[in-house]
Amino acid sequence: MVTRHAFTRRDAILYALGVGAALGRAVDARALRFVYEEGLQALPTMAVVLGYPGFWLREPRFGLDWPRILHAEQAVEIHRPLPVEGAVRGETNIENLLDKGKDKGAVLYLRREVFDDRSGELLATVRQTSFLRGDGGFGGRRDGGPEPFPIPDRSCDIVLESRTTPEQALIYRLSGDHNPVHVLPEVARRAGFEKPILHGLCTYGVVGCALLTHLCADDASRLRRLDVRFSSPVFPGESIRTDVWLLADGKAAFQSRVVERDVLVLNNGYLEIR
Amino acid sequence: MVTRHAFTRRDAILYALGVGAALGRAVDARALRFVYEEGLQALPTMAVVLGYPGFWLREPRFGLDWPRILHAEQAVEIHRPLPVEGAVRGETNIENLLDKGKDKGAVLYLRREVFDDRSGELLATVRQTSFLRGDGGFGGRRDGGPEPFPIPDRSCDIVLESRTTPEQALIYRLSGDHNPVHVLPEVARRAGFEKPILHGLCTYGVVGCALLTHLCADDASRLRRLDVRFSSPVFPGESIRTDVWLLADGKAAFQSRVVERDVLVLNNGYLEIR
């Protein structure tokens, strides 16, 4: 599946505001790199919205029980710093489909390669795992998915704090994910939540910003890889604490929790920096 | 001067988020009218960014001392509810130019009529007064500007509270006013401010939202006119208190102050509701 996508500096800034890149640091020169036209850098996590084909699993021809689909994992590998404007081509492929049984569901692994549409260069590889809770038991292979990155069995080395605002999902969704579960209280309730939830990919971007600030000195070109497993949603306005374990060779593991409820939201986090 | 301008629902939502339409009311069904695609209403104050010709007074051919220009007054008259998407045509004309003398400067009155570019219908009349502090003494007429609307000499009837956030100017500017005085600390300091200031038109929109909520029950079609005189800038993150005097025939006068510094920011406010 090929998706062409043109975007402007305004879109790159709006993505950064959507993941709270300037929260609490509005006149900080380093934060301005992500929200002001001159000297603008694209956040590496913006790869998740570039060349995004939309929520095609929802289309009737696939016959999926789409309201029960959960976003389970997200991984981004950056090959070249993302442009702040231009046009990209996203090529989405199914990498694997596992069958965990009728009661548990199926697990779908998608891989999207994002190319600069002019130069043809590969910018990023975006992997997304979805848990199709209502679509297991079709007789497929059960095992073979990648193992989640292990969290070290010791105290973490660094603790990072992030904020979100009650309006965060309203801004984030302008980058292209219009699922009403993030806005409308009745849709959120039908999906089993007490109120609208933050986009998992917004949480991913919020934590990505904190990691970029503290481990890469806000230099977008230094983040090479960022993988997470989603454990539980964040509600807009909550605070997020990220525990980081520094490993060898510019690698690190991390976990993120909502401070107010002490609930794990991102698990098996893994990043690589240059 | 004719300016054509196409805009989308996303732009209308971004304008509303820029003026804090959802601040503190993210899951309030009435607030969602301004920030969610379905049932979307355009805020009446969005007229100030529709068909806007840009800061053309800055162009060298006019020979103005543009860094010393101040936005003095803003008035919007809504003839028909603004569309949430479409194309408009802005026709900007000079209505008057007064000469207050070499020491005081000149006062420029601009009028912009905003038409629906398809139907040709007049949507709004937008008036803007600029104080050209460095361009007086050219021998022009001194008097003849409209009188500011008088604030009644009695206690106000209603007090409205509005919030802004430290990131407010970063969101508002995506609606088209990219003056760096609202972002860059050094540009703000050179202009005589301790830090970046909120756009006057953002303050105008913030207060417009509060008036719309409390006097028009968030029904955008009911606000017919909103005029203000700018007294002093707001810093992003400050709170605004608006005192409202109810008058006869759906009219009202108002004044807005920054709560934290008790400074008057909007004076001679006047509105008409349907």
Using CA atoms, how far apart are residues A85 and A221, in angstroms rounded to an integer?
A: 16
Contact A30/A218 with Cβ under 8 angstroms? yes
Interchain proximity B183–A32, CB inside 8 Å: yes
Q: Reply yes or no on whether the pLDDT at B28 is more than 90.
A: no
Chain centroid to CA B77: 12
Q: Is A171 on the interface with B (CB under 8 A)?
A: yes
Q: What whole-number percentage of chain A has pLDDT above 90? A: 85
Work out how many domains chain A is built from and give that number: 1
- Supply the DSSP symbol for B70: E
Give residue B142's pLDDT.
92
Give residue A211's pLDDT.
98
- State the average pLDDT for chain B: 95
Q: Are strands A239-246 and B2-7 parallel, antiparallel or unpaired?
A: unpaired
Looking at mean pLDDT, say which of A132-146, A172-186, B256-270 comes out highest. B256-270
CA angle A21, A185, B163 (to 5 degrees): 50
Q: Is B194 on the interface with A (CB under 8 A)?
A: no
As beta bridge partners, residue A34 has none
Using CA atoms, how far apart are residues A217 and B123, in angstroms rounded to an integer?
A: 48
> Amino acid identity of B229?
R
DSSP string, A21-88: TTTT-TT-HHHHTTTSSTT----GGGGGGTT---SGGGSGGG---GGGEEEEEEEEEESSPPPSSEEE
Q: Reply yes or no on whether the pLDDT at B16 is more than 90.
A: yes
Give residue A93's pLDDT.
97
**Active-site residue, A177 included:** yes
B162 closest CA partner among B202, B199, B126: B202
Instruction: Say which CATH number the domain at A263 has.
Output: 3.10.129.10
Identify the active-site residue in B11, B177, B218, B227: B177
Place of tokens 């990155």: A149
Alpha-carbon Rg for chain A in angstroms: 18
- State the average pLDDT for chain A: 95
The enclosing H or E element of B131 equals strand B122-132
Q: Is the pTM of this model over 0.90?
A: yes
Contact B102/B63 with Cβ under 8 angstroms? no
Structure tokens at B193: 């401010």
Model pLDDT for residues B145-194, shown as the tens digit of each residue: 888 999 999 999 999 999 999 999 999 999 999 889 999 999 999 888 99
- Supply the DSSP symbol for B83: P
Chain A residues whose beta carbon lies within 8 Å of the beta carbon of residue B10: 174
Mean pLDDT calculated for residue range B214-225: 97
Chains A–B, number of C-beta pairs less than 8 Å apart: 71
B242 closest CA partner among B200, B210, B220: B210
Using CA atoms, how far apart are residues B133 and B66, in angstroms rounded to an integer?
A: 9
| Nearest beta carbon to residue B26 from set A32, A36, A170 | A170
Q: What are phi and psi of A219, to 5 degrees?
A: -95, 105
The distance of A166 to chain B (nearest Cα, Å) reads 6
**Confidence label for A183 from pLDDT (cuts 50, 70 and 90):** very high
Model pLDDT for residues A197-236, shown as the tens digit of each residue: 999 999 999 999 999 999 999 999 999 999 999 999 999 9
Give residue B253's pLDDT.
98
Using CA atoms, how far apart are residues A145 and A164, in angstroms rounded to an integer?
A: 32
B46 closest CA partner among B56, B58, B34, B60: B34
How many residues in chain A?
A: 274
**Residues spanned by the domain of B152:** 2-273
Q: Which has the minimum average pLDDT: A14-18, B146-150, B153-157, B207-211?
A: B146-150
- Supply the DSSP symbol for A147: P
Model pLDDT for residues B81-96, shown as the tens digit of each residue: 999 999 999 999 999 9
Give residue B27's pLDDT.
73
**Confidence label for B66 from pLDDT (cuts 50, 70 and 90):** confident
Using CA atoms, how far apart are residues A114 and A111, in angstroms rounded to an integer?
A: 10
Give residue A97's pLDDT.
95
**Confidence label for A238 from pLDDT (cuts 50, 70 and 90):** very high
Q: Is B234 on the interface with A (CB under 8 A)?
A: no
> Amino acid identity of A122?
L
Q: Reply yes or no on whether the pLDDT at A173 is more than 90.
A: yes
Q: Reply yes or no on whether the pLDDT at A156 is more than 90.
A: yes
As beta bridge partners, residue B228 has B74
Q: Reply yes or no on whether the pLDDT at A9 is more than 80.
A: yes
Chain B residues whose beta carbon lies within 8 Å of the beta carbon of residue A24: 166
**Active-site residue, B199 included:** no
**What stretches of A182-262 adopt beta strand conformation (E)?**
223-230, 239-246, 251-258
Q: Reply yes or no on whether the pLDDT at A26 is more than 80.
A: no
Q: Is the ipTM of this complex over 0.90?
A: yes
**Confidence label for A249 from pLDDT (cuts 50, 70 and 90):** very high
Q: Is B196 on the interface with A (CB under 8 A)?
A: yes
User: Which residues touch A119 (CB under 8 Å, ≥6 apart)?
Assistant: none
Using CA atoms, how far apart are residues B108 and B225, in angstroms rounded to an integer?
A: 21
**Confidence label for A25 from pLDDT (cuts 50, 70 and 90):** confident
Structure tokens at A55: 């929520």
Using CA atoms, how far apart are residues B46 and A217, in angstroms rounded to an integer?
A: 38
Model pLDDT for residues A49-79, shown as the tens digit of each residue: 999 998 888 899 999 988 788 899 999 999 9
Q: What whole-number percentage of chain B has pLDDT above 70? A: 100
Alpha helix segments (H runs only) across chain B:
9-18, 29-32, 168-172, 185-190, 200-216
Give residue B128's pLDDT.
96
Q: Reply yes or no on whether the pLDDT at B126 is more than 90.
A: yes
**Active-site residue, B158 included:** no
Contact B226/B212 with Cβ under 8 angstroms? no
**Confidence label for A27 from pLDDT (cuts 50, 70 and 90):** confident
Q: Reply yes or no on whether the pLDDT at A128 is more than 80.
A: yes
Interchain proximity B169–A26, CB inside 8 Å: yes
Q: Reply yes or no on whether the pLDDT at A165 is more than 90.
A: yes
Give residue B145's pLDDT.
84
Side by side, the strands of the sheet bearing B122-132 are B2-7, B86-99, B106-116, B122-132, B69-78, B223-230, B263-273, B251-258, B239-246, B158-163
Q: Reply yes or no on whether the pLDDT at A244 is more than 90.
A: yes
> What number of other Cβ atoms are within 10 A of residue B134's Cβ?
14
Q: Reply yes or no on whether the pLDDT at B114 is more than 90.
A: yes
Identify the active-site residue in A197, A205, A227, A269: A197
Contact A266/A255 with Cβ under 8 angstroms? yes
